[in-house]
A and B are shown apart, each in its own frame.
Chain A
Amino acid sequence: MACVLVHIEADDDQPTPASLAALGEGRRVATSSGATLYACVVLAGELPDKNKLGHASTIPPFGAADTAASANEALVTALGVHGADKVVFVTAAGAVRPVMWSTVGAPIAAACTHLRPALVLLPASAGSHDVGARLATRMGAAYVDSPVVEQGPRGEIVLSRPVYGGGWRRRTSLDDLDRAVVVTLPPGRRPARGADEAEVLLLEMRTPGDSRVRLIDEKSDDGAALTSARVVVAAGGGVNAASWPMVAELAKALGGELGATRSLCARGIAPPTREIGVGARHVSPMLYVVCGASGSAAHLGAVSHEAEIVAIDRDPDAPIFKLASYGIVGAIEDVVPQLLEQLRAEAR
């Protein structure tokens, strides 16, 4: 494998945590396969004339993209420290926010056409979900969504993802493929540490996005905190209006966010913005405490398979216990107050 490319999303000249995690995954793959790791950043607009480096067919030599580097010094430093061998700035003709296919897709695709990566990694984000499959289609590449990246028995890179409610895994070995692969990574990957400063390249592509898609406005979402929470407490159909405040209190005591299944939202007990499930919020906590939910595929399909699940339910035969790492059988009204009391006692 000659080249691994990671798309970097940035906020205020700093890569997002999900982008650094994707870069970390890219670093591990590149090191094990002897590939060069490119961090690809899409910049809006055009650069000053003296920095235009010709058409994309001529990647400038090291040092030729000085201004792009100095204008984005903090970003370049962060990417180098976190493992990038080379940072590629690609200029787009239009806006690059919000991150989605219509804004950044074509510039990333143009960079891929030029660099011909065998593996493209996209950070865990709604933008990557919008970009990933379409980028793969344009490249004629394979596409794998939210896999665990593993090493196979021969040292080969294997992408493995749970399907059919976690009862099956779909495994793709990169050695078996005769084409590139685009991967949208799941949340929760670890960043890596790089040894050297990254070399900076500039691709002056001026690739237009899809101007047909026009952003009108945006409103913040109350449920957004669920996506990045390290601890999530989720209430299911076994929770009622009386026990809902207890579960909310447990989430607070654990320093986590409060979520709910679709059935609880439909009963009007939990707000719809807190719904966790396929087609609603996807979460990737380290600890996922499930109170009174059966553990359907529609619910747990939206929970990272790396989350440690704690199940609390009155039914010892509830399917959730087959999927959980820890469990306790009992009524929510009994167990949750006891947990709260224990946590408070330890805090005193």
Chain B
Amino acid sequence: MAAPAPVVVLLRRLQARPGAPNAPSSNQDETDVLGRCEGGALAAAISLAARLETTVVAIAVGPARREDRVLAMALRAGCTRAVRIDDSQLGDVDYLGLAQVLAAAIKHVGARTVLCGDRSQDEGAGAIGPAVAELLDWSHLTGVVRHAVEGNEVVVVRQADTAHQRFRIPLPVVLCVTAPPVQGPAVPEPERKDEDEDAPEPAAKRARKRARTPVPTIEELDLADLGIDARAVAPRRTSAGKLRAVRGRGSPMMSTSASDLVARLRADRLLGGSDS
């Protein structure tokens, strides 16, 4: 019997400014390396793969110095395979050029479920997931806040403008995941005396088991491995737009008192229509 198709998660390291990967604020805290939505996608991919009883492949496009940290983090989090696509021939290619590369990589690993962040924190366009879905001719859904597996389908909750909508979608599918739900303050769990054999392993036990397991290496592919002609993607650079640094807004108008602040806001017609 063939192994079930893996789940793919598309990752990208957060950048503080163009070409400058964000550094984690400490060795223990890597939350600044992945954006919120990418972090949500990674967690969702691992959980979805566990329910589908399959593996997770993390895919990133970019140079090793930028993306290997993200991929190593994904492997530590539970991904079974990490693939980085060298982008030396891609340069400042636009969303569609990048999506062409990612769609080819997804076909290469044979996945039927793809998760990615709904929006990155740096560029923030949220274009990659829908573009990849179009190129693969799969269904897609943006704004995914929760997911579950029922049979051969996924049931997902999407945040729309005024409502949370629940959908049922068969595989293959691309899910664009928002930030993971906020967890409230931790509540101590009561001690369990009779461990259920089928119950999931405690997190600490899973972490110890992972620590004993050798970490797989990061595979590197180039465009030729994916059957992509770099010349076909290169013209997409013109539509990526040009980056310009902007000057700050300048110093704010500082008020020394509440009455002064209210007066300034009223003078600038920013207060009104209130019950004040």
Most A C-beta atoms less than 10 A away, residue of B99, B122, B245: B122
Minimum CB–CB distance from B266 to chain A (whole Å) comes to 8
Select one of A100, A177, A262, A321 contacting B182, CB under 8 A. Answer: A262
Minimum CB–CB distance from A303 to chain B (whole Å) comes to 12
Query: Does A219 touch B at the CB level, under 8 Å?
Result: yes
Query: A62: which B residues are within 8 A, CB to CB?
Result: none
Minimum CB–CB distance from B251 to chain A (whole Å) comes to 8
Select one of A136, A170, A323 contacting B96, CB under 8 A. Answer: A136
Assembly CA distance A267 to B183 (angstroms)? 8
Residue-wise interface mask of B (250-273) relative to A, using a CB-CB cutoff of 8 A (1 in contact, 0 not):
011111111101101100101101
Residue-wise interface mask of B (61-100) relative to A, using a CB-CB cutoff of 8 A (1 in contact, 0 not):
0000000000000000000000000000000001110010
Query: Does B205 touch A at the CB level, under 8 Å?
Result: no
Query: Does B6 touch A at the CB level, under 8 Å?
Result: no
Given the known interface contacts A167-B246, A213-B169, the answer about A101 and B140 at a Cβ–Cβ threshold of 8 Å is yes
A169 touches B246 (CB 8 A): yes
A171 touches B242 (CB 8 A): yes
Report A179-204 residues with CB < 8 Å from chain B CB: 179, 181
Assembly CA distance A231 to B270 (angstroms)? 9
Minimum CB–CB distance from B55 to chain A (whole Å) comes to 24
Q: Count the A-B residue pairs with Cβ separation under 8 angstroms: how many?
A: 269
Query: A256: which B residues are within 8 A, CB to CB?
Result: 274
The number of chain B residues touching the other chain, given as a range, is: 35 or more
Contact residues of A: prevailing secondary structure: mixed
Query: Does B238 touch A at the CB level, under 8 Å?
Result: yes
Query: B168: which A residues are within 8 A, CB to CB?
Result: 214, 216
User: Interface with B: A20-28, A79-87, A126-134, which one?
Assistant: A126-134
Select one of A145, A163, A287, A338 contacting B122, CB under 8 A. Answer: A163
* Count of residues in A whose CB is under 8 Å from the partner chain: 97
Given the known interface contacts A133-B95, A298-B121, the answer about A253 and B276 at a Cβ–Cβ threshold of 8 Å is yes
Assembly CA distance A179 to B235 (angstroms)? 11
Minimum CB–CB distance from A198 to chain B (whole Å) comes to 26
Query: Does A52 touch B at the CB level, under 8 Å?
Result: no
User: Interface with A: B35-43, B208-216, B219-227, which one?
Assistant: B35-43
Query: Does B12 touch A at the CB level, under 8 Å?
Result: no
Minimum CB–CB distance from A188 to chain B (whole Å) comes to 14
Select one of B155, B161, B275 contacting A126, CB under 8 A. Answer: B161
Query: Does A335 touch B at the CB level, under 8 Å?
Result: yes
Residue-wise interface mask of B (1-29) relative to A, using a CB-CB cutoff of 8 A (1 in contact, 0 not):
00000000000000111100000000000
Given the known interface contacts A168-B244, A168-B245, A177-B239, the answer about A142 and B94 at a Cβ–Cβ threshold of 8 Å is yes
Assembly CA distance A165 to B168 (angstroms)? 35
Interface residues of B (CB under 8 A from A): 15-18, 35-37, 40, 94-96, 99, 117-119, 121-131, 133-135, 139-143, 155, 158-170, 178-179, 181-185, 238-246, 248-249, 251-259, 261-262, 264-265, 268, 270-271, 273-276
Can you list 24 A-B pairs, Cβ within 8 angstroms, ordered by A? A100-B142, A126-B142, A129-B126, A130-B142, A133-B131, A134-B134, A136-B127, A137-B99, A146-B124, A167-B17, A170-B240, A172-B239, A210-B139, A216-B166, A218-B160, A218-B164, A221-B160, A255-B275, A265-B182, A267-B184, A321-B251, A324-B249, A343-B276, A347-B276
Interface residues of A (CB under 8 A from B): 98, 100-102, 125-127, 129-130, 132-134, 136-138, 140, 142-146, 159, 161-172, 176-179, 181, 210, 212-221, 224, 227, 230-231, 252-256, 262, 265-268, 272, 275, 277-280, 286-287, 297-298, 301, 308-311, 321-329, 335, 338-339, 341-344, 346-347
